[in-house]
Amino acid sequence: MVKQTIQIFCRIKPTKSKTSVYEINPVEDGAHLSVMIPKEATDGYINNKKEDFRFRFRQIFDQTAKQEDVFALVARPVIDNVISGYNGTIFAYGQTGSGKTFTITGGPERFSDRGIIPRSLSYIFQQFGQHADQSHTVHVSYLEIYNENGYDLLDPKHEAAKLEDLPKVLLMEDEDQNMHLKNLSVHAAQNEEEALNLLFLGDTNRMIAETPMNQASTRSHCIFTVHVTSKEIGSATVRKAKLHLVDLAGSERVAKTNVNGLLLTEAKYINLSLHYLEQVIVALSEKHRSHIPYRNSMMTSVLRDSLGGNCMTTMIATCSVDKRNIEETISTCRFSQRVALIKNDARLNEELDPRLLINQLRAENLQLRNQITIQSGSEQFTELLTAELIAKLTEQVKNYLADTDNEATLNVGADMRKIDQCYRAFKKLHLELQEQVKTASTTPNKNSQPIYITHDISPYDSKEVKELKEIIKLRDNEISILVNMLKKEKKTEYRPFSESTTPPTDSSFSANDRAGNQ
């Protein structure tokens, strides 16, 4: 069990205008953000309002901070723990237009603008490649909470013309007080490319609108969850952990933005859900508080583990230092200071898989029986192997070599004739492979032309080329997904009005793992 407080970070949004309203002062194990509000005479009266505010953070990223620096300090430690079997959550909080979505998801223009989510997916699969002694699986889900209703952004049908066409996600609680999300699909991702395609598909379905404070304001809370399962080769113990990457909708003052209509309704729901979140934070920070109001909103119910539960949680507060936004920045920093008081009890999510244990014991039992038979010499085989049996053994060897499962075995029993024949098959395949490599290296290609290198390729150039290739690859995937969506949208336009689509298959997963089951 690991007991620790929620780690809080701060990121300052770049601004074009020069400002002197804040200072960053490094201190031991952190940094202080000082915010100054200059006094202004109002109607000739003396202004005695407080003008200096100081807030402590684990790290403060100034306006020049890069996305890779934010990921390295904020997200990487959490992901390392998730791979080890601990639940993790990273969420961004701040005023609308302060850079939350850019920090969590990233920008679409440059490869270096990738946010925490795409970088996390890349890092997870990169770490898997460095642990050949373990097997891993990854599943992802994407939940959007809009006007206190949950929607599955990864609907398998991909035929939604608007958000309301997506399946609604229902929040359900069982008798053991475990929260479940019904209708939220969970998708397997075999590699980084598949995971990024799912992320892009979900982002295309998000609710985005233009407001006076932000040209592309996200009008909903989104939770991208990565489920990681890992197991050491030869072990029946499985570690399961989940990583919540949360992009909260931005808080805004309605009187300041003067929005109306649908934008006003959205703002009310956003501010109300953030108010309920603050209520939970305040309740958790108070000692001897018996009741925590998680059920007040869908968001706090889903993030129940992340706030005071079985999870390692990190928060990044995004702040705007424009003079017109100073009050909201101070409010964001005050909220983060309350969050820093919350202690989570993270537990290793490790369990014994009975099916793996049974298979492991059966294989071990068979192996021991074969060893006893060989050592005792109780069975003697003198007949020669038939050509049919030799071909069958050779095929078994080929299948064994082609099997990507690290726990695959080649079992031919205790018959020494079969064992010897398998060794012969291994040797023959090895010699054939060597001959193929030798032939390929000595035979010239008639179509090949001499290559002349006119300049050295520096590591910077090769890195840049790699990034450009990645961008092209991502854009091709995005174009393919959008084309398919457009084709399906055209089909729905000519569909008779009375026709209804078949709802997706229900799926659910636990959003609140009980401590006793960990």
Whether residues 91 and 107 fall in one domain: yes
Is 94 annotated as a binding-site member? Answer: yes
Is 101 annotated as a binding-site member? Answer: yes
Tokens of 416: 């020494």
Whether residues 181 and 261 fall in one domain: yes
Query: What is the separation of C-alpha 516 from the centre of its chain, rounded to a whole number of angstroms?
Result: 25
Residue that is last in its domain, among 320, 352, 384: 352
Tokens of 169: 């996600």
Tokens of 51: 């003008």
- Note down the domain range covering 56: 2-352
Question: Mean pLDDT over residues 277-282, rounded?
Answer: 87
- Cα–Cα distance measured from residue 153 to residue 185, given in angstroms and rounded to the nearest whole number: 9
Q: Tell me, what amino acid is at 453?
A: I
Least confident interval from 154-163, 290-299, 339-348, 432-441? 154-163
Question: Mean pLDDT over residues 478-485, rounded?
Answer: 69
Q: Please answer whether residues 318 and 65 qualify as being in contact, where contact means their C-beta atoms are separated by less than 8 angstroms.
A: no
- Cα–Cα distance measured from residue 144 to residue 160, given in angstroms and rounded to the nearest whole number: 14
Question: Mean pLDDT over residues 378-400, rounded?
Answer: 77
- Cα–Cα distance measured from residue 123 to residue 76, given in angstroms and rounded to the nearest whole number: 8
Closest Cα to residue 414, out of 373, 381, 385? 373
Phi first, then psi: give them for residue 447, nearest 5 degrees. Answer: -85, -5
pLDDT of residue 506: 46
Question: Is residue 414's pLDDT more than 70?
Answer: no
Greatest mean pLDDT range, 277-281, 352-356, 449-453, 476-480: 277-281
Task: Assign 227 a pLDDT band (cuts: 50, 70, 90).
Answer: very high
Residues 488-505 have pLDDT tens digits of: 665 555 444 343 334 444
Whether residues 283 and 408 fall in one domain: no
Tokens of 186: 């969970």
CA dihedral (371, 376, 378, 381) in degrees, to 10, reads 70
Question: Is residue 449's pLDDT more than 60?
Answer: no
Closest Cα to residue 235, out of 380, 135, 88? 135
**Residues across the chain:** 518
Q: What is the CATH number of the domain that holds 21?
A: 3.40.850.10
Task: Assign 356 a pLDDT band (cuts: 50, 70, 90).
Answer: low
Whether residues 413 and 265 fall in one domain: no
Query: What single string gives the DSSP state of each residue in 338-387?
Result: HHTT-EEEE---EEE-HHHHHHHHHHHHHHHHHHHHHHHT-S---SPPPH
Residue that is last in its domain, among 419, 441, 463: 441
Q: Please answer whether residues 435 and 443 qualify as being in contact, where contact means their C-beta atoms are separated by less than 8 angstroms.
A: no
Is 106 annotated as a binding-site member? Answer: no
Q: Is residue 515 part of a domain?
A: no
Task: Assign 187 a pLDDT band (cuts: 50, 70, 90).
Answer: very high
Whether residues 421 and 365 fall in one domain: yes
Whether residues 56 and 101 fall in one domain: yes
Closest Cα to residue 353, out of 235, 469, 222, 191? 235
Whether residues 402 and 307 fall in one domain: no
Whether residues 31 and 178 fall in one domain: yes
Q: Number of folded domains in the chain?
A: 2
Residue that is last in its domain, among 441, 470, 496: 441
Query: What is the separation of C-alpha 102 from the centre of its chain, rounded to a whole number of angstroms?
Result: 16
- Cα–Cα distance measured from residue 416 to residue 295, given in angstroms and rounded to the nearest whole number: 66
Report which of residues 399 and 190 the model is more confident about.
190
- In the Cβ-directed half-sphere of 438, how many Cα atoms lie within 13 Å? 6
Q: Is residue 228 part of a domain?
A: yes
Whether residues 314 and 344 fall in one domain: yes
Q: Is 229 exposed, middle or buried (0-12, 13-18, 19+ CB in 10 A)?
A: middle
- Residue 409, SS3? coil
Residues 112-145 have pLDDT tens digits of: 889 999 999 999 999 998 887 788 999 999 998 8
Least confident interval from 31-45, 176-190, 274-288? 31-45
Tokens of 228: 């990681």
Q: Is residue 490 part of a domain?
A: no
Integer CA distances (angstroms), 188 to 136, 234, 451, 505, in order: 11, 23, 43, 16
Q: Please answer whether residues 123 and 348 qualify as being in contact, where contact means their C-beta atoms are separated by less than 8 angstroms.
A: no
Q: Is residue 143 part of a domain?
A: yes
Q: Tell me, what amino acid is at 383?
A: E
Q: Tell me, what amino acid is at 41?
A: A
- Residue 88, SS3? strand
pLDDT of residue 27: 87
Query: What single string gives the DSSP state of each residue in 437-489?
Result: HHHHHHSPPTT-------S---HHHHHHHHHHHHHHHHHHHHHHHHHHHHHHH
- Cα–Cα distance measured from residue 91 to residue 74, given in angstroms and rounded to the nearest whole number: 10
Q: Please answer whether residues 45 and 371 qualify as being in contact, where contact means their C-beta atoms are separated by less than 8 angstroms.
A: no
Is 409 annotated as a binding-site member? Answer: no
Q: Is residue 503 part of a domain?
A: no
